[in-house]
């Protein structure tokens, strides 16, 4: 058993991380900032300026904004948030959008009401939305976490101000308490009633959007392509359903998902393969929930070194979690789960993040495939050894080396990806 303090920390991590979100979280965060600024403004805006950090631009530029049908872009997120967003709903800020709201948004976009600018900031997740009305001005600022509103002004009068740390990353100190041994002890011993509310919602929401993506045409239809051409083996089914959830989410589906690490795609990848394998193995609901605990916490374990947003594709972290959870479902011990993580990272850790968009579904399929291969190698007793690339003498050290590569080694990669994406004035 874990000591009571660490047990509660792990419960709190799951409560904090596994929350519902509607649409890709970066455009939703922009909409949230705009909705909060509009609330402070108290009148219709006649001009909006959305200033965003590079990683926000990267992840909001190419994805369909939910409830819009097929509209994309930072300006769409900001204008729709101002027109119809409910800031009290946080990551579900756009859940009350009506057809009339959408028509109004399109008209305002046609008028060029919103300007988008790259924000010079040390924070990777940073949004400032400024609005001008006939009689007033307003500003709302989000920083470091998708719902962390740190400042609200009206007519240069501060209505809300939070202290902001100088560091580039949010306070993820709770994640420092994570280690594989304790994660598995927690998964084995946690009272199911303490985690069932979060996990049952994750299972329900994320399988629902996966089913939506597998049965309807969204994006590149990666999930349905896998099912059509690769068969219905459990390995294919797990990859296809996870990819289909991303197909739908990146394609503007209005269904919510339960996120992990601030990302809907990562939340889908952490959970859907576990649910597919759980059904295939006829596992009990309790066993599936314990495997979901492993998957979600192993994904978060990797975020200690990588951070929330980077050039490292978060689907790899989430798929690592799924691979660990699949090994857990098969009765694998700590050594076997460690081998699965090592094998997955040794294979797929070179996938880069070039923003949220339809091809994320393909990256999820690739990452889950690597995780399943890593699991099957592990169950046969096989693993990549220390000194092979970034693999170290144990799984915790391997995770640390991958984190260092992602956070430090890929910093300039992240900058160059952004330069390429926004060249020729395409930042919006």
- 209-236: pLDDT as tens digits: 999 999 999 999 999 999 999 988 999 9
- Residue 428: pLDDT band by 50, 70, 90 thresholds? low
Greatest mean pLDDT among 63-67, 136-140, 248-252 lies in 136-140
The average pLDDT across 20-26 equals: 81
What residues have CB less than 8 Å from 311, skipping those under 6 apart?
352, 353, 406, 410, 411, 413, 414, 417
Cα angle 356, 361, 363 (rounded to 5 degrees) comes to: 85
Give me the mean pLDDT over the 183-195 stretch.
Answer: 98
16-23 average pLDDT score: 87
DSSP 363: H
202/257 Cα distance (integer angstroms)? 7
pLDDT the model gives residue 31: 96
pLDDT value, residue 167: 43
Mean of pLDDT over the chain: 92
**Can you give the pTM of this predicted structure?**
0.84
> What is the pairing mode between strands 47-52 and 20-22?
unpaired
Lowest mean pLDDT among 134-138, 293-297, 356-360, 415-419: 415-419
The 3-state DSSP class for residue 180 equals: helix
| Higher per-residue confidence, 365 vs 25 | 365
* pLDDT tens track for 319-359: 999 999 999 999 999 999 999 999 999 999 989 998 888 99
Instruction: Give the pLDDT mean for 81-104.
Output: 94
Residue 291 has pLDDT above 50, yes or no: yes
Report which of residues 410 and 321 the model is more confident about: 321
Report pLDDT for 171: 53
Domains in the chain (CATH in brackets) are 25-161 (3.30.1330), 178-423 (1.10.4100)
**What pLDDT shows up at residue 411?**
84
Closest to 360 (Cα-Cα) out of 316, 297, 404: 316
Extended strands (E) in 208-320: 256-258
| DSSP structural state of residue 72 | B
> For residues 92 and 205, is the Cβ–Cβ distance under 8 A?
no
């Amino acid at each position: 058993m874990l000591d009571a303090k660490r047990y509660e920390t792990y419960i709190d991590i799951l409560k904090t991380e596994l929350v519902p979100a509607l649409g890709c979280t970066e455009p939703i965060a922009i909409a949230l900032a705009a909705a909060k600024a509009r609330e402070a403004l108290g009148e219709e805006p006649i001009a909006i300026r959305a200033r965003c950090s590079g990683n926000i631009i990267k992840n909001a530029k190419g994805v369909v904004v939910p409830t819009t049908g097929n509209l994309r872009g930072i300006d769409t997120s900001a204008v729709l948030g101002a027109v119809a967003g409910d800031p009290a709903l946080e990551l579900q800020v756009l859940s009350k959008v009506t057809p009339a709201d959408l028509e109004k948004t399109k008209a305002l976009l046609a008028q060029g009401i919103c300007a988008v600018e790259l924000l010079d900031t040390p924070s990777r997740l940073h949004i400032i939305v400024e609005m001008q009305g006939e009689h007033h001005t307003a500003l709302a600022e989000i920083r470091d976490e998708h719902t962390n509103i740190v400042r609200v002004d009206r007519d240069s009068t501060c209505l809300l101000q939070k202290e902001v740390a100088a560091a580039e990353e949010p306070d993820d100190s709770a994640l420092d308490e994570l280690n594989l041994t304790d994660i598995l002890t927690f998964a084995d011993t946690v009272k199911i009633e303490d985690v069932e509310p979060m996990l049952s919602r994750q299972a329900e929401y994320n399988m629902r959007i996966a089913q939506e993506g597998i049965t309807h045409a969204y994006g590149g239809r990666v999930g349905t392509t896998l099912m059509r051409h690769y068969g219905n083996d459990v390995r294919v089914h797990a990859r296809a359903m996870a990819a289909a959830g991303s197909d739908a989410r990146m394609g503007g589906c209005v269904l919510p998902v339960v996120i992990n690490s601030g990302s809907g795609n990562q939340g889908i990848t952490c959970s859907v393969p576990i649910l597919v394998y759980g059904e295939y193995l006829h596992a009990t609901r309790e066993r599936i929930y314990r495997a979901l605990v492993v998957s979600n916490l192993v994904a978060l374990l990797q975020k200690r070194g990588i951070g929330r947003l980077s050039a490292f594709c978060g689907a790899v972290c989430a798929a690592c979690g799924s691979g660990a959870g699949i090994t857990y479902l098969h009765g694998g011990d700590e050594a076997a789960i460690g081998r699965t993580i090592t094998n997955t990272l040794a294979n797929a850790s070179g996938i880069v993040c070039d923003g949220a968009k339809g091809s994320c579904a393909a990256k999820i399929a690739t990452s889950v495939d690597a995780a399943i291969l890593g699991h099957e190698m592990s169950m046969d007793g096989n693993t990549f050894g220390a000194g092979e690339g970034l693999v170290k003498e144990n799984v915790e050290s391997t995770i640390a080396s991958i984190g260092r590569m992602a956070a430090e080694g890929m910093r300039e990669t992240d900058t160059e990806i952004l330069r390429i994406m926004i060249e020729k004035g395409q930042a919006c």
